[in-house]
Chains A and B, each alone.
Chain A
């Protein structure tokens, strides 16, 4: 009965088709066979005998006489060691020249982890980038977006972090990627030999919209399996704004009432369901998620970055090729930066406060005010800070970066001017 074929399509709107069928379960997969080829589709709504299906390859070219065969199962992806080094599409088909993998199929979009089974994150992920390691430490099991605008080197930053961070498995989920960017990631990972511990699920800008929706779920389902095998997994998602836009497209097609700038009302829940997969399993591996969110018009109040910010544990702002110290935040840094070196927090807070004062002085300067002694000191400081601490292309160990911080401050200020408690200045302030 499961393989009964339905011929009559009642309705086609966008990527959603409606057939009359019975005994269909919510979330079931079906195969749609039309003149354009064969595509998978998923049941998204049931209304009496009407079944609404979202066609992965899109509604274009589907005829009213297309054959719909229900498969009696929900969406699955294969999971095995053979995935490593391979590239797949959002629906799990090979994108490279390798064979199709069908062994050990696992469900995607599984249930949420019981909070009682989570543990407090405790391992720092060293990236060698001072703006991250010193000021906004990345922590294992953290979920962190990179807020950026089109044209910024976010994919380069993502790739650099992937290469410098110590993890066992890297999973790259590309959504609406330019084909060039996809090749960039592949080549970059290949050059450094990291491709053999990477699985890529890539949806490029020219692929069907619905497949874009599957990328995060597929990537995270595979990541979860690796993590349960005691692997430290880093999931890179780029770009989540494309994912949200695909969701908007489908929601509007389904005639849902939009809430904010056309996005569906459940945008927050949908994004959260993905980001919350980041986890440190008690007695097993972990998943760390780094995701790019491009902000249309550099507007952080746009619904996608805004909702993301409420879900993730901080964010990195990438602007003018630098990670902005203001607004960038790692919420989990407190978990680890007390155990690195005792001056870590002091350097982190003080240098940012001073940098904020520097920005104020810059403003005054641009308005043509006379610079006081204090202002000149700040100007000197600001320049040094930007040159050495804010550079994101370096690979500097944390301790070296901290020493560097003291050096810069000693070069510009007297100890009391920094507002640092005396017991630290006594210990760390460079002599002479």
Chain B
């Protein structure tokens, strides 16, 4: 087959206009050849008009000129799926960054594309299917061990209908490109299968028998999240917040402590420094669940803000496709996208160059449907073999000016199951995580008893109202009962909602401990208290808060833990009012 070649007729930023003669496909990948030479820049067809195709280039377009050739590939933008993905660091187009650094040094040279999966690694493959078996797309042919997991080698997801296994390689060592099985359908077509397969990123993988409702909670070990605004396995949630409110820190602690099998971090248009922290620290940190390095369950897709914009758009899709792939193995996968606003901005930039009629704040009119279809790729599914896998998606949103009324936040809120709104007021007061306890919501079940959570929430709300009132009428105009209520709400906030990410014991609170501590907290809330004046009340709560903070800093059920607990019980008994 001769190559399908077009010719550049216009260059505007990273948008190319290309004249073509042979048919081209919408969203197919093409390479623009700088000066007709060997430097080829990856691009994607995004609009076709007459015999002119418009392409977004995933690189800087300096050096291209009118008349330069463009090679069309006929393939959609795709990622490679197979063993060897875990622990990797990719850019938005699945280029392995460490390998790229070896090849090019400090800087990202444009036009250099490497194989995402190493071609020379040998994997110990064991077949599980038999010759003659009837299989459909997504069925398991065999397995290879990949770090912590048994990596399933599956029938290519893009096969339609029923196929029969014609031949199957024996157990042994294979590279990702070697053929390990041949399939045949009833029309006599044959198809070779390798350890690796390729899938277009913008299409969801749908090889499962049914989608289930997310009900099981996914512990993040953040008290305010798990108890008050929980996330379910297979659920979706968003974290909007102004800059400096702690979105990324919250994502980072979640990526460390979340109780899932695989974590994919998609750093999309954010700071490189933040990715570097993860990159350098994860290999040294141990995952308490497995005792192995945290990196063994992690993949990083990294398209930082200074990297080309078009690749930023691709990066969230790359992330979610990898997540779906591991879900197909019956694993629970968490995708953390930081930040979806940058991705939306990438859409806006392209839309502007295409001179489309803009919607609100110049975002394209299709913004909502694009966001919705992205979050819809999360979910719990029952696979064909009956096992359950899930993709949980957590996306941060960076609203302009911290105003949640803007289009990206609003479009996201419509489709997610939990909303963790970060507030500037809380982060200014150094109350971390700065999730607003009154504005946020979740539709998923809590790890502690729902009725009790409702009780605590009521205290928070009432205490907040008292606080508002006090600002108008002053402390002297407030009754002692209201004042106690206010102090109780502050107590919940200081000792339960806030969590110190830098103290080891406090950084992650297990579900068991959350239940235990929350019980204790409720006892304080339920206690009727008696004080001679507000000063005494304030100093009692200050002392109790301090003790409880010390308590949070101790190992669960250690001697010190029990010690402090006793102190607190005693202190509480002293102020209890047994009058009624």
Contact = CB atoms under 8 A, between A and B. Distances in A.
Nearest to A356: B429
A422 B563 CA distance: 15
Interface string B65-103: 111000000000000000000000100000001101100
Contacts of A116: 89, 97-98, 100-101, 279
A419 B272 CA distance: 36
A273 B349 CA distance: 15
A273 B13 CA distance: 14
Contact of B243 (A117, A258, A309, A420): A309
B554 to A, nearest CB: 11
Interface string B410-448: 000000000000000000111000000000000000000
A264 to B, nearest CB: 8
B110 A259 contact: no
B12 A45 contact: yes
Interface string A265-282: 110110011011101010
A374 B11 CA distance: 67
Interface in A95-120: 110-120
Contact of B276 (A45, A49, A115, A265): A115
Interface string B1-30: 000000011111100010000000000000
A272 B9 CA distance: 30
Given A260-B400, A356-B429, A421 B97 contact: no
Given A265-B352, A363-B471, A369 B543 contact: no
Contacts of B243: 306, 309-310
Nearest to B400: A306
B476 to A, nearest CB: 5
Contacts of B275: 115
Given A268-B345, A301-B401, A353-B430, A311 B305 contact: yes
B64 A26 contact: yes
Contact of A356 (B35, B109, B361, B428): B428
Given A26-B61, A276-B305, A327-B244, A352 B362 contact: no
B492 to A, nearest CB: 15
B388 interface: no
Contacts of A417: 539, 542
B109 to A, nearest CB: 6
Contacts of B104: 114
B468 interface: no
A358 to B, nearest CB: 12
Contact of B108 (A112, A256, A281): A112
B54 to A, nearest CB: 12
Contacts of B549: 419, 421
B428 A118 contact: no
Given A265-B362, A369-B474, A416-B546, A114 B400 contact: no
Nearest to B307: A112
A273 B546 contact: no
A303 interface: yes
Interface in A291-330: 300-303, 306-307, 309-311, 313-315, 326-327, 329
A23 B304 CA distance: 33
A47 interface: yes
Interface string A322-354: 000011010110100010000001000100110
The bracket for how many chain B residues form the interface is 35 or more
Contacts of B35: 25
Contacts of B342: 268
Contacts of B309: 266, 269
Interface in A368-383: 369-370, 372-374
A88 B403 CA distance: 41
B460 to A, nearest CB: 18
B550 interface: yes
B502 A334 contact: yes
A153 interface: no
Contacts of A121: 273
A111 B273 contact: no
A190 to B, nearest CB: 34
B280 interface: yes
Given A114-B97, A332-B273, A369-B474, A309 B244 contact: yes
Contacts of A356: 428-430
Given A45-B12, A303-B400, A269 B107 contact: no
Given A48-B66, A259-B361, A370 B476 contact: yes
A370 B352 contact: no
Interface in A220-267: 228, 256-260, 264-266
B474 A353 contact: no
B430 A301 contact: no
A115 B97 contact: yes
Contact of B244 (A111, A315, A370): A315
Nearest to B545: A419
B355 interface: yes
B62 interface: yes
Which residue, of A310, A332, A356, has the highest number of chain B Cβ atoms within 10 A?
A310
B512 interface: no
Contacts of B307: 112
B271 interface: yes
B107 A272 contact: no
Which residue, of A256, A281, A422, has the highest number of chain B Cβ atoms within 10 A?
A256
B161 interface: no
Given A266-B309, A327-B244, A353-B429, 8 more contacts: A27-B63, A112-B272, A116-B89, A116-B100, A119-B276, A258-B362, A269-B349, A422-B550
The 9 closest A-B pairs by CB, nearest first: A301-B401, A272-B305, A276-B306, A27-B62, A369-B474, A259-B362, A309-B243, A112-B306, A116-B97
23 contacts: A22-B67, A25-B65, A26-B62, A26-B63, A48-B10, A114-B101, A115-B279, A116-B279, A119-B280, A120-B277, A120-B280, A260-B362, A266-B349, A269-B345, A276-B305, A306-B401, A327-B428, A332-B273, A356-B430, A370-B474, A372-B535, A421-B550, A422-B546
